[in-house]
Structure 1
Amino acid sequence: MNILFFILIALSFGVAAYHQIVDPLAAGMPSAMDALSKAMLDSAAGAVTLTLGLVGSMTLFLGLMKVAEAGGLLAVIARLLRPALIRLFPDVPANHPAMGAMIMNISANVLGLGNAATPFGIRAMQELDRLNPVKGTASNAMVLFLAINTSSVTLLPTGVVALRAAAGSQDPAGIVATTLVATTLSTLTAVITAKLLARFFPLGSTPIDLSAVPAPEEAPAEPSAPLPATETGAYPGWVSAVALLAFFSIIPLTILWGKAIAPWIIPGLAMLLLGYGAVRRVRVYEVFVDGARDGFQLAIRIIPYLVAILVAVAMFRASGAMEVILTPLGALTAPFGLPAEALSMALLRPLSGSGAFAVLASIINDPAIGPDSYVGYLVSTIQGSTETTFYVLAVYFGAVGIRRMRHAVWTGIIADIAGVAGAVMICSLLYG
């Protein structure tokens, strides 16, 4: 991350300096260096504004998480999915709160909840850090979790569907199937890459004995499960299989009625978590407030990390360095189904979610392109099937003070490439 951050700054400065010296200054227009300075200051202020905007959602969903944890729901879900997760995360005890928090984060991403997933993810990182043998360095479990998080299978990209509808699309939910294919490919790539690269980026310490790790203070007592659990702490295999089949049965429902289901997701999630807590005799109000108390402190903690990455990205765009890279690359990728308009989305998406969303809006509202053209479907799928990788790394690792990210950056980039490749493949097949 240190190298990437410096490269972005250096390239931006170099391109802006060239334009400052060579280009004639037009009347009434700022110079290249003036534009670069303004972009730096505006993005730094925007990072603080963005963080304050996250306070509300962090407070809300951390409170809901606390109620779910106190009622034992997270432990139940973790035990239900333990057969799959124990193979992916052998360093995390199956009944640890980290497992439940990761499941809630992944579930929120699968349903396209956006900011709703962030508080769950930060909570998961905090719990994973309790198991981390080398503080300040990303553990294998942290890297794998972020790899899955940034490439998560998405059933319903609600924000993109809404934008397509606003742009006059005749089939705004037409990207549900393409997004599902692209994100499935990117998630599989992320998991494989994280596992393979881990051996080339040693943690730097002998792993601790997890059986000796004390449970965190806020972890609830082992709840009484509504289903019989085996001696290993997991439900019988047939129960997990039925649960997974029920989950995958949601896929055709989202394809057929995704637009109708979307408004129910967040209110339904709140009702489910609070209702479960009430049934388990949890004092939902007090527990909710207790869990929400950390929201503001978490938001303040991530401000420096957001300022760093958002300033670097803003400089990269304002200097013209991104355009310098896009022009020659677009000519090379167009024959493979990735025209320059979509290439700009592919390059910008890992760096700036809001920037990529703005580019998407401009492309599908262009009368020469439109939301229902091949390019319109492709850029919509790229937006819905890739993640703002560097934002996620900055926020999640910043929340627990991780400075040495090991192979997390490379894993995220490779997963993003796989997601773009999957989007090109499926959109070329269906709409090319």
Structure 2
Amino acid sequence: MNLVFFLLIAAATLVAALAELNGGHDAMENLSNAALKAAEGAVPLALGLIGVMALFLGLMKVAEEAGLVRATARLLAPLMRRLFPQVPAAHPAMGAMIMNVAANLLGLGNAATPFGIRAMEHLERLNRHKGFASDAQALFLALNTASVTILPTSVIALRAATGSTNPSAVIAPTLAATLISAVVAVLAARLLAPLFPLPAPAIDANDDTAANDNDEESGEPLPPPPPWAPWLALAFLVAIIPVMAFQGAALGHWIVPALLVGLLGYGLIRQVRIYECFVDGAREGFSIAVRIIPYLVAILVAIAMLRQSGALDLILGPLARFTAPWGIPAEALTMAGMRSLSGSGSFGLLASYMNDPAIGPDSPSGILLGTIYGSSETTFYVIAVYFGAVGIRRMRHALAAGLIADVAGLLAAVAACALLIS
């Protein structure tokens, strides 16, 4: 991350300096203002996450105490064991990762972040190389950048707000694109891991990290689920896809209330003291939000400088001339590049495209742009938040795997829209 951080800032400064020397008035002043404004904005952004983190970490705590996380982990244990062989099957990290995947599946980006941070914390307790991303952490982050999505809630809402006659038209291509990018993310993380070897772990007699596989947190081995359970879960997943495709815009607003009632009600049935348990889990939201502020400052300043200097346009402009004949217009490249860098920036860009009479929400380009947004993630932001929350400084192959998944998501979105949208 050290080299990436430097290159982003150095490239932005060089482009702005050249613009200033070639008559571009106030280029360096605007660059300085963008950097300072981004640094100031990192703190409100982190503080704004406190409420959301507190809400969903509280729900996560209730789900853990009620045994729901363990039951879900048991259902998906065969798949998760293959993806994460380094993590004990009954470890809390499994449940947290599953909750994160489920939140992404339903397009609940704000809910996915607290679950993802909780998963990273549990994975860090299994990590024998403090400060270095483990293979499991790198793979989990890559899966987050490729997050399989059934219901791209924010895109559907924006399309409805801009007058789309079919706001849910992006559901099918988004699901197809994210399935492909998820497979690519797994393959990239697995193939790149040997190229970034971990150092020998330091031996510390007082460090019990190496014993985590056998401690009480790892739990007893999960019994296999009933043979019919995975098939029932698969049938439910297949059945919900057409429902979301036709009623996604209306059902999207029901997800969070249903999640609240469902998790708290399940905890109540299992005789969990849900109020005290919720408060105990929510208390961690504040400390996590404060802990990630320095990492947010670093990445947001670098991204703001890159955007303000015009360096991003210099990179994507020539590339767009090459990709246009292949069905990837300049707007798609710009959206994909911005999406990897900034969530708010890419959403604002998508909104401007949806409101542009030349594009609009229901044109092939409009549907493609919505699919690209819904089938990718803010890779740099996710790295800053997830790794920053647990003090990871050496990300190894995590960024490369995430960016490869982003490229795969872009290509898959183009192919899916060409095949599924007439």
TM-score (norm 2): 0.95
User: Cα deviations across residues 239-290 of structure 1 (Å, max 9, x unaligned)?
Assistant: 2232233233221221121112111111111111111110110100001111
Q: Which residue of 2 aligns with 1:130?
A: 125
CA–CA distance in structure 1, aligned partners of residues 198 and 22 of structure 2: 47
- Whole-angstrom distance in 1 between the partners of 2:102 and 2:15: 42
Shift in alpha-carbon separation, 1:335–1:93, aligned structure 2, 3 A = same
Contact 1:96 1:215 in 2 (8 A): no
User: Which consecutive unaligned segments of at least 5 residues does structure 1 have?
Assistant: 26-30, 223-230
Question: In 1, distance between residues paired with 2:43 and 2:365?
Answer: 34
Name the SS for the 2:89 alignment partner.
coil
> Which structure 2 residues correspond to residues 296-307 of structure 1 after superposition, within 5 A?
296-307=286-297
Alignment of 1:271-290 (within 5 A): 271-290=261-280
Distance 1:165 1:212 in 2: 49
Tell me what 2:241 maps to.
251
CA distance in structure 1 between the partners assigned to 2:114 and 2:151 by the alignment: 19
Post-superposition offset of 1:165: 1.0
2:142 to 147, 164, 170: 147
1:48 and 2:56 are equivalent in the alignment: no
Give, as a single letter, the amino acid of the residue that structure 2 aligns with 1:259: A
Q: Following the alignment from structure 1 to structure 2, what is the Cα–Cα distance between the partners of residues 65 and 416?
A: 28
**1:18 Cα offset (Å):** 0.8
Instruction: Tell me which residue corresponds to 1:96.
Output: 91
1:80-115 deviation line (CA, Å, top 9, x unaligned): 111111111111111111110110000000000011
SS of equivalent residue, structure 2 residue 88: coil
The letter of the residue matching 2:216 is A
Q: Is the 8 A contact 2:141 2:398 kept in 1?
A: yes
Distance 1:172 1:71, change over 3 A: same
Give the direction of change, closer, same or farther, for the CA distance of 1:408–1:24 in structure 2 (3 Å limit): closer
Q: Aligned-pair distance for 1:205? A: 3.3
Q: Is contact 1:83–1:237 with CA below 8 Å preserved after alignment?
A: no
Deviates more, 1:327-336 or 1:241-250: 241-250
Is the 8 Å Cα contact of residues 59 and 296 (structure 1) preserved in structure 2? yes
Give, in whole Å, the separation in 2 of the partners of 1:336 and 1:409.
26
Distance 2:400 2:239 in 1: 33
CA distance in 1 between counterparts of 2:314 and 2:366 reads 24
Q: How does 1:312-351 map to 2 (within 5 A)?
A: 312-351=302-341
Distance of 2:275 and 2:421 partners within structure 1: 50
- Greater CA drift, 253-262 or 171-180: 253-262
Residue of structure 2 in register with 1:21 after alignment: 21
Describe how 1:7-406 pairs up with structure 2 within 5 A. 7-23=7-23, 25=25, 31-205=26-200, 212-216=213-217, 233-406=223-396
Structure 1 window deviating more from structure 2 (309-318 vs 15-24): it is 15-24
**Structure 1 residue 49, shift from structure 2 partner:** 1.2
Query: 1:11 deviation in Å?
Result: 0.7
1: CA distance, partners of 2:33 / 2:226: 59
Aligned-partner Cα distance in 2 for 1:133–1:413: 26
CA–CA distance in structure 2, aligned partners of residues 354 and 212 of structure 1:
40
* 1:212 Cα deviation from its structure 2 partner: 4.3
> CA separation of 1:119/1:212 partners in 2, compared to 1, >3 Å: closer, same or farther?
closer
Report deviation, 1:327: 2.0
For residues 216 and 255 of structure 2, the distance between their equivalents in structure 1, rounded to whole angstroms, comes to: 32
SS in structure 1 at match of 2:292: helix
Q: Is the 8 A contact 2:335 2:346 kept in 1?
A: yes
Provide, for residues 110-157 of structure 1, a one-character-per-residue CA deviation record: whole Å limited to 9, x for no partner.
Answer: 000011111111001101111111111111111111111111110000
* Matched residue, 1:225: none
Distance in 1, matches of 2:131 and 2:408, equals 29
1:146 aligned partner, one-letter code: L
Q: Which amino acid aligns with 1:181?
A: A
Instruction: String of CA shifts for 1:324-379, please: whole Å, max 9, x gaps.
Output: 12221111111111111111101111011111111111111111111111211111
Q: Distance in 2 between matches of 1:278 and 1:241?
A: 28
* Partners of 1:211 and 1:400 in 2: CA distance: 17
Aligned-partner SS, 1:136: coil
Contact 2:128 2:210 in 1 (8 A): no
Deviation at 1:232, TM superposition (A): 5.1
Structure 1 Cα separation of the partners of residues 79 and 316 of structure 2: 41
Q: Which amino acid aligns with 1:281?
A: Q
Tell me if the contact between 1:94 and 1:233 (Cα under 8 Å) persists in the aligned partners.
no
Amino acid at match of 1:86: R
Q: Tell me, in whole angstroms, the C-alpha distance in 2 between the residues paired with 1:36 and 1:24.
A: 12
| Residue 24 of structure 1: how far off its partner (Å) | 5.1
Aligned to 1:4: 4
Matched, 1:429 2:392: no
TM-score (norm: length of structure 1):
0.93
| CA distance in structure 1 between the partners assigned to 2:24 and 2:271 by the alignment | 72
Q: What is the CA–CA distance in structure 1 between the aligned matches of 2:133 and 2:238, rounded to whole Å?
A: 31
The one-letter code matched in structure 2 to 1:184 is L
Q: Helix, strand or coil: the match of 2:341?
A: coil
Cα pair distance change 1:215/1:399, threshold 3 Å: farther
Instruction: Give secondary structure in 1 for the equivalent of 2:189.
Output: helix
Shift of 1:197: 1.1
Number of aligned pairs? 416
- Find the aligned partners of 2:241 and 2:102 in 1 and give their Cα distance: 13
Q: Secondary structure at the match of 1:203?
A: coil
